[in-house]
């Protein structure tokens, strides 16, 4: 099928290379326009200084520059997504709109609404797989059911990847650049002020160039990833999660590259572990697509019977957790890292989530929403999957009786207190031994005592989760 004019709708795929929707539009259309919509339905609930909006804004500037080098340009609109896309399609007189799949429930509803309006206007919406290697029902059990346990899903995922190497092939863009619609003379992008936002002191490099620099740096230390990723004071993670979230890099390129490293024997123990993390991302995306109820309820229905702490006391416990004043240094330092930078180390995401749920007895959904508000790399499926894992309510989650001890986690993963001292300077003068539980050595000025005792909280948690055992009996 050939179209006279088409419109490519960028969403969480802010790059001008290896882009499925852009490739298909360019190879089937005489003239291709590109657009990004600052969706007012999403923006209206965000603070006026939001790091993610600043990341998107900076990434769009680079995307527009790259498109202009190829003869195209990026249109930017500030509107509700449905009205913004359908009205622009009519304004430009395009035959079709091209976009990449999104798997979140609200996004699926949004795309269905867009498709309905476009169809009524005699236009079409085409969407493509782009942000994952395998989507929806492409990796199933032998009984054609969706997986609920990660390891067999991973094995099936790897088997399919090896059987279908073309799944990692990139989508050529530049070779078809002659089909871009040229930029008008008065072309300009919207500023942050135009959409009602202000700079948020973004601590990371945005855009395709930022992603490429981080990936190049990570490849040089990927062999150590398996162990180094656990220590928050060590440069262990890839730091690519926000770029994966907004698609400033290609998942196909990442997997091709790490596969090559593994095949060459140069990735040590770290490369296969990192590939597993990429597969976890797709596992959670699959779970969300097939079980959208997880956004509100436990994946395991029996766990919805748990009675969480409630009332003013629970609100105060939650506020102390949010503000980093629980009296447990590793937990507090981690929450301060999140509040100040929008980033939290993955080991610390597990520690802080487990503390909120199993030490404070607070509903995991409260923590999930708080992370959603602040994380630069917030992704609904991964955030929900991580919180349900910590709460033992999710698929393939940790057992409910596995309860992290915040002190021993601190002693093991920040033994010298380097990470703690970075965010809690008031504890800087404590010894490496004292810093993990300051109250045991007389405490420290301007730092609170523990708001709960872990051993007592553990007993209450086991009692709280007993309802699960009763229902299963």
Q: How confident is the model at residue 177 (pLDDT cuts 50, 70, 90)?
A: very high
Other beta carbons less than 10 A from residue 377's beta carbon: 21
pLDDT surpasses 80 at 463: yes
Task: Give the residue ranges of DSSP H helices in 100-237.
Answer: 105-120, 150-163, 207-219, 225-228
Q: What pLDDT, in 10s, does the model give residues 285-315?
A: 999 999 999 999 999 999 999 999 999 999 9
What's the rounded Cα separation, in Å, for the pair 257 and 3? 35
List the structure tokens of 37: 């919509």
Q: What pLDDT, in 10s, does the model give residues 200-245?
A: 988 899 999 999 999 999 999 999 999 999 999 999 999 999 999 9
Place of tokens 């989530």: 353
What's the rounded Cα separation, in Å, for the pair 214 and 235? 12
Q: Please provide the distance, in angstroms rounded to a whole number, between the alpha carbons at the two ends of the chain.
A: 58
List the structure tokens of 131: 């942000």
List the structure tokens of 123: 């236009």
For the chain, domains (ranges, CATH) are 3-131 (3.40.50.620), 132-169+208-290 (1.25.40.80), 301-472 (1.10.579.10)
Annotated catalytic sites, by residue?
277, 280, 308, 346, 364, 387
Q: Is 178 exposed, middle or buried (0-12, 13-18, 19+ CB in 10 A)?
A: exposed
Q: What global pTM score does this model have? A: 0.96
Q: Alpha carbon 354 to chain centroid distance?
A: 19
């Amino acid at each position: 099928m050939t179209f006279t004019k088409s419109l490519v709708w960028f969403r969480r795929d802010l790059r001008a290379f290896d882009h499925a929707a852009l490739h298909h539009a360019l190879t089937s259309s005489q003239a291709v326009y590109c657009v990004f919509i600052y969706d007012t339905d999403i923006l209206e609930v965000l603070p006026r200084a939001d790091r993610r909006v600043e990341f998107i804004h900076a990434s769009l500037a680079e995307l527009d520059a790259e498109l202009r080098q190829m003869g195209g340009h990026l249109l930017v609109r500030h509107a509700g997504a449905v009205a913004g896309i359908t009205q622009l399609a009519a304004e430009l007189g395009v035959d079709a709109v091209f976009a990449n799949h999104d798997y979140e429930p609200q996004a699926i509803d949004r795309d269905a609404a867009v498709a309905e309006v476009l169809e009524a206007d005699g236009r079409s919406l085409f969407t493509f797989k782009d942000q994952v290697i395998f989507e929806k029902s492409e990796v199933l059990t032998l009984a054609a059911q969706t997986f609920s346990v990660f390891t067999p899903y991973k094995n099936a995922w790897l088997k399919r990847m090896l059987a279908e190497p073309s799944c990692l092939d990139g989508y050529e863009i530049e070779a078809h650049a002659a089909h871009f619609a040229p930029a008008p003379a008065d072309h300009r992008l919207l500023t942050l002020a135009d959409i009602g936002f202000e700079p948020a002191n973004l601590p990371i490099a945005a855009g395709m160039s930022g992603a490429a620099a981080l990936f190049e740096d990570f490849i040089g230390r990927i062999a150590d990833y398996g162990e180094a990723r656990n220590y928050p004071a060590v440069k262990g993670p890839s730091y690519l999660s926000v770029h994966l979230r907004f698609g400033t890099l290609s998942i196909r390129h990442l997997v091709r590259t790490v596969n090559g490293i593994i095949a060459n024997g140069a990735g040590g123990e770290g490369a296969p572990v990192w590939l597993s993390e990429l597969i976890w991302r797709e596992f959670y995306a699959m779970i969300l697509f097939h079980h959208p109820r997880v956004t509100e309820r436990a994946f395991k229905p029996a766990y919805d019977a748990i009675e969480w702490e409630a009332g003013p006391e629970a609100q105060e416990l939650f506020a102390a957790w949010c503000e980093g004043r629980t009296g447990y240094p590793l937990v507090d330092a981690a929450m301060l890292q999140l509040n100040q930078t929008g980033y939290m180390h993955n080991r610390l995401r597990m520690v802080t989530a487990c503390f909120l749920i199993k030490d404070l007895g607070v509903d995991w959904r409260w923590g999930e929403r708080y992370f959603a508000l602040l994380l630069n790399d917030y992704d609904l499926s991964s955030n929900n999957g991580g919180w349900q894992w910590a709460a033992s309510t999710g698929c393939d989650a940790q057992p409910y009786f596995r309860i992290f001890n915040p002190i021993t986690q601190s002693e093991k993963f920040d033994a010298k207190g380097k990470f703690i001292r970075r965010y809690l300077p008031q504890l800087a003068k404590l010894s490496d031994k004292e810093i993990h539980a300051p109250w045991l050595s007389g405490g420290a000025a301007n730092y609170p005592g523990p708001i709960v005792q872990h051993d007592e909280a553990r007993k209450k948690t086991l009692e709280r989760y007993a309802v699960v055992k009763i229902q299963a009996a």
